Amino acid sequence: MDVFAGFHGRVLAAVQQLKHDGVVPPGASIEGITLGSPKDASHGDLATNAAMVLAKQAGLGPRALAERIAPLLASDPHIDKVEIAGPGFINLTLASAFWPRVLRMVLEQGAAYGESAIGKGKAVNVEYVSANPTGPMHVGHCRGAVFGDALANLLVFTGFAVTREYYVNDAGAQVDALARSAYLRYREALGEDIGEIPEGLYPGDYLKPVGEKLAAQHAKELLAMPESEWLPIARAAALQAMLAMIENDLDSLGIHHDVFFSERSLTEGPRDEIAETIADLKTRGLIYQGRLPPPRGQIDVDWEDREQLLFRASEFGDDMDRPLVKSDGTYAYFAGDIAYHRDKFKRGFKTMIDVFGADHSGHVKRMKAAIAALSDGEAELDIKICQLVRLFRAGEPVKMSKRAGTFVTLRELVDEVGAGPVRFMMLYRKNDAPLDFDFVKVTEQSRDNPVFYVQYAHARASSVLRNVRETFPDLDLAEGALASSDLDLLTDEGEMALIRRIAQFPRVVEAASTAHEPHRIGFYLYDLAGDFHTLWNRGKDLPQLRFIYESDRELTRARVALVASVKRVLASGLGILGVHAMHELH
RNA sequence: GGUCCCGUAGCUCAAGGGAUAGAGCAUCUGCCUUCUAAGCAGAGGGUUGAAGGUUCGAAUCCUUCCGGGACCGCCA
């Protein structure tokens, strides 16, 4: 629950009153009226743009209209001062008695503080990771995985019914290549010298256990079979092992999906869902046989101009129509992806979020086109593209090459710096901006390292709560008990700044959720940690500002309540990011 | 050639269409030996790539250009 929510209603009520009084036309649109916290503290605690938004419609100057609104707000007992400023802002200064309510709310609600009901229980499908099951996960997958997971957490926190989903690309040529690679390892396990793994197959050692398992299960049976018979067996075994490995990698980051959706199941299930999808599109008149122009500006010797089955994606904003069937007669990947999203829609998801890597940016328009076509515009698809991650070690780029085998896996990353730092850093950047990840920096104990800085604040708060027991052993430190402290005793500017910051948390959460931008939580936590550290440091020079103030038990109790609130919000925010809050640093 | 993303302080990046565009690092100036903990406080630093447009109001939305990155039937 946002502590400021009531004030927004107050502003709207004032506008309603003015409509009643004939100052503002009854039909005036109140869209765009906001109530927010000004950046500059001298502008008060809250500010609304109502007068500026309505000025034109009311035929009054913004400031003149503000003069009419202001008295209506001033009557609120929680509002101490109403000022008109700048081009027509109405700035509200809240009564000092208001602020203790914030902390009381935090302490009474505990883990629920900051939760929101804006999701209204709406079903949202978040698809993320969806790495090809052909090997271990590498760093490139990591960002999308963490992003999708944190976004899902954020949506849950704001009242959505979230399903976390992984689309398993277990159909197509690369999975057959995987199967052949596993088959080679099987022969190797039987004692055969297989030599070098041929080009186009997967050379990694991680397939050796699959070969050994096949050998143990089937002995030499598979050797006698034609490829058409052993391939499905090898494929199934390899896929199972790869998925287990991927789930294990994801587990090391605390990531767990609700649904693993098999691409293969679209055509090998009870019905051919891709054929159904194409038929569906056909009845909508969106499928035709035609030719595509060759790609311009690049030489493609393999280009073959041919009639093919096309989806009219261009009618829904895509740049051109898209083929659904390959020249060999099998479905193109896109056809399966449409069928998959159609399946999501049929399962009741009207809001879908796909988290893609930068290399999939070209798919955004066509996927949105497909969703619009299949749902008659009823479903909404947001696609979040995570840009590349560049690895550094103490400022030096880490060279990676898939061929040279110097590729950094997700597992290596987590093993070296830990899941928490990996998650936090992957989220400490907007998704559509590239991200630099420095192995050394994330483990540094400095203000420059936000992971440390935020964790340190939480550990420090925990430390205060431990230490206060020595001075006041009888203080009840439970949040519910601290809520009844005399919070009016908190009057220092540093304390007030902290309370105001804490009061922002619910709005930051809602804004981050609405924008699908979990990074905002990370930046908020950094700011909150900064306010807390600053106040702590002032206690060095001014002992009367210390949280634990031996000569005043009640004041200490109020300050401990503040510290407990900071700790709670830090923990909640870290929880959304999926980072475990530390009680001690080591 | 096209599509998408990015361009903000010296560097790395924030900023729900809102007021004087903010942090950290670096630089400069002071202070300091701890309520177990990263030392602390302050200062300077900007034509938000450029030019138009929409708006009461633009870093944010639209158009064009410049620069950087990703991608560009029949791979998934």
pLDDT digits (tens, 9 = 90+) for A566-586: 999 999 999 999 999 999 887
Helix, strand, coil share of chain A (percent; to 5)? 55, 15, 35
What is the enclosing helix (H) or strand (E) of A357? strand A351-357
Contacts 24+ apart (CB under 8 A), A62-66: A62/A87, A62/A88, A63/A87, A63/A88, A65/A23, A65/A24, A66/A90
CA→C1' distance for A537 and B31 (Å): 13
Nucleotide closest to A450 measured between CA and C1': B24
CA→C1' distance for A362 and B59 (Å): 27
| CA dihedral sign, ordered A140, A337, A200, A189 | positive
Nucleotide closest to A463 measured between CA and C1': B36
| CA dihedral sign, ordered A228, A229, A235, A238 | negative
> Which residue is closest to B55 in terms of CA–C1' distance?
A53
What is the Cα–Cα distance from A153 to A383, expressed in whole angstroms?
17
Residue A448, phi then psi, degrees to nearest 5: -70, -15
CA→C1' distance for A48 and B57 (Å): 14
Interval A410-415 mean pLDDT:
92
- pTM exceeds cut of 0.90: yes
What is the Cα–Cα distance from A219 to A153, expressed in whole angstroms?
46
CA→C1' distance for A49 and B67 (Å): 37
Burial of A501 (0-12, 13-18, 19+ CB in 10 A): buried
- Which residue matches tokens 């630099």? A436
Strand B: positions under 7 A of a protein C-beta atom: 1-7, 12-16, 18-25, 34-41, 56-57, 69-76
Nucleotide closest to A62 measured between CA and C1': B56
Nucleotide closest to A526 measured between CA and C1': B23
Q: What is the band of A427 on the pLDDT scale with cuts at 50, 70, 90?
A: very high
CA→C1' distance for A517 and B27 (Å): 34
CA→C1' distance for A35 and B45 (Å): 33
Question: What integer pLDDT is reported at residue A404 of this predicted model?
Answer: 57
- Which residue matches tokens 């765009």? A32
What is the Cα–Cα distance from A250 to A163, expressed in whole angstroms?
16
- Which residue matches tokens 């790869």? A242
Nucleotide closest to A459 measured between CA and C1': B37
Q: Is residue A502 within 8 Å of A566, Cβ to Cβ? A: yes
Q: What is the band of A448 on the pLDDT scale with cuts at 50, 70, 90?
A: confident
> Which residue is closest to B4 in terms of CA–C1' distance?
A361
Classify each residue of A32-46 as buried b or exposed e, where b means 16 or more C-beta atoms within 10 Å of its C-beta: ebebebbeeeebbbb
How are strands ordered across the β-sheet holding A35-36? Answer: A35-36, A46-48, A89-94, A79-85
Angle at A139 between CA A137 and CA A144, to 5 degrees: 85
pLDDT at A331 over 80: yes
Express each pLDDT in A94-131 by its tens digit: 998 899 999 999 999 999 999 999 999 999 999 999 88
CA→C1' distance for A198 and B74 (Å): 24
> Which residue is closest to B74 in terms of CA–C1' distance?
A326
Closest CA to A125 of A166, A168, A163: A163
Question: What integer pLDDT is reported at residue A301 of this predicted model?
Answer: 60
Question: What integer pLDDT is reported at residue A248 of this predicted model?
Answer: 96
CA→C1' distance for A327 and B73 (Å): 10
CA→C1' distance for A437 and B10 (Å): 22
Interval A176-189 mean pLDDT:
96
> Which residue is closest to B23 in terms of CA–C1' distance?
A527
